[in-house]
Chain A
Amino acid sequence: MTESPTATTWEPKILAFLCNWCSYAGADLAGTSRFQYPPNVRVIRVPCSGRVNPIFIVEALHHGADGVLVSGCHPGDCHYLVGNYFARRRFALLQRYLEYLGIEKGRVQFSWVSASEGARFAEVVTKVTDDIKKLGPSRRLNINVTRGATPAALNQEPEFEAR
């Protein structure tokens, strides 16, 4: 593992897809309530966890995210009534499938966090970050590995292409 960043300098980059109505508001509450949580998550706000196409998750790993968190409203509390029920079926299959392919357990995690659960949001992020720190940098499916990115480059913010 000589080419991977050392434990002291490496911080995981975790992409979080948060639903606008629950988890994003939960993250907001965590902030206004001054709950401490690791700064490793980069948040993408989505209208509903049902908006998260499984390709987004795999694409995140493909482009070098060390972990992915998807969080939405608790089942039964979806702003669109049933969006997270459909999402749950897809995610259950995806998570099992990625593990079957050999992506480490814990790279891709799912949670339900409501708008009133600021403390819970901080807890979830802490746990996901800890899990991914234990796993180390993500190398599977990651294009940066064979494209010769240096450890320093791996630890920098990627430049996103305009799409």
Chain B
Amino acid sequence: MSALPKAVQETIAGWLSSGAIEVFIGYERGPVPLRATPVFVRRPEDVVRLIWDASCENNLVAFLSKLRGKKVGLMVKGCDSRAVIGLLQEGQVIRENLRLVGVSCPGVVDPKKVAAKLAVNVDDLEDAHLNGAQTLLMGGQCMAIGEVIYDLCRDCVHHNPALSDLQMGEAIADPAADPYEHVREIESLSTEERWARFEREVQHCNLCYACRNACPLCYCNTCFADRTMPRWFSQTAQPEDVQFFQTIRTFHLSGRCVGCGACTRACPQGVNLRSLLDKLRLDVLELYNYEAGSDPNARPPLTTYREDDYNGFVM
């Protein structure tokens, strides 16, 4: 756990006292080991509660759609800042109302990986704590944080904020890796294998909608899943209902998903939603040469067209 640098604290306190923002959303130390808790800071003197370290996993941008019209300050990692760009593009937030503290993020800790490495239950990590920015301690054992970050963070190619008012800390060099390797692996399977994989992947989903609630871009006032006229699928969590929900929710994010992984981290059942969403991201990139969350002035791909768009799928 480490408090924010003095200069950053002062800037945030200044924004709060000058009325530039009503609330600053950041992270504070929470009751769960290795997981910081989001905190809403409204008084300048409370900025000392804010922290930044590898346990700050939540995408705080998900709160923005619930604070429409308010002046909000926010702590954003590389991926989070891309979600802000998505909301700006879709007219959900106004840039002037936002104050962003950007931080270059080397990856956040996955408690499940820590537990697996120590061969303990994920609920038995009370003693675990971060020891600086590089290592993590638990019961006398020391491990490098880089080994226990989420898969998504391991494959990350956007460590630095694409948008911020104040950059905190040093920028990190982005690797030239292929973040879609896991998608290509699935693509190479046969149809039967892909279906078996999809069935297996979502079989534990119980329609809790944590993915939807954690997603910064799932902001529809009435989600298709909550509609009763028409009721698109039954809420009984039978396999086909779950498959239907996951197919449509993920498809609604095509051309919009920035790949922050908030849904995958939020899932209490460990469904790897990233394996679905990254396919859409890859297709949008291949077909329309577009990557969500890069340019606030770009038009999202499904709100525009070209006459020479890909037509090969039409019989």
Contact = CB atoms under 8 A, between A and B. Distances in A.
Interface of A: 54-55, 58-59, 62, 75-76, 82, 85-86, 88-105, 109-112, 124, 127-128, 140-143, 145-147, 163
A101 to B, nearest CB: 5
B31 interface: no
Max chain A C-beta neighbours (<10 A), residue from B191, B239, B303: B191
Question: Chain B: interface residue count, which band?
Answer: 35 or more
B194 A100 contact: yes
22 contacts: A54-B251, A55-B224, A59-B232, A86-B303, A88-B309, A88-B311, A89-B305, A92-B309, A92-B313, A93-B255, A95-B313, A96-B283, A97-B250, A97-B254, A98-B247, A99-B191, A102-B191, A104-B191, A110-B314, A124-B315, A143-B234, A146-B238
Given A82-B305, A89-B309, A163-B229, A147 B279 contact: no
Q: Which 4 residue pairs are nearest across A and B when measured between Cβ atoms?
A: A102-B195, A85-B305, A102-B194, A163-B230
Interface string B296-315: 00000111011101110111
A111 B195 contact: no
The A interface, classified by DSSP as helix, strand, loop or mixed, is helix
A102 B313 contact: no
A143 B240 contact: yes
A89 B196 CA distance: 27
A93 B244 contact: no
Given A55-B232, A89-B288, A101 B247 contact: yes
Contacts of A89: 287-288, 301-302, 305, 309
B187 interface: yes
Interface string B239-279: 11101100110110011000000000000000000001001
A97 B288 CA distance: 15
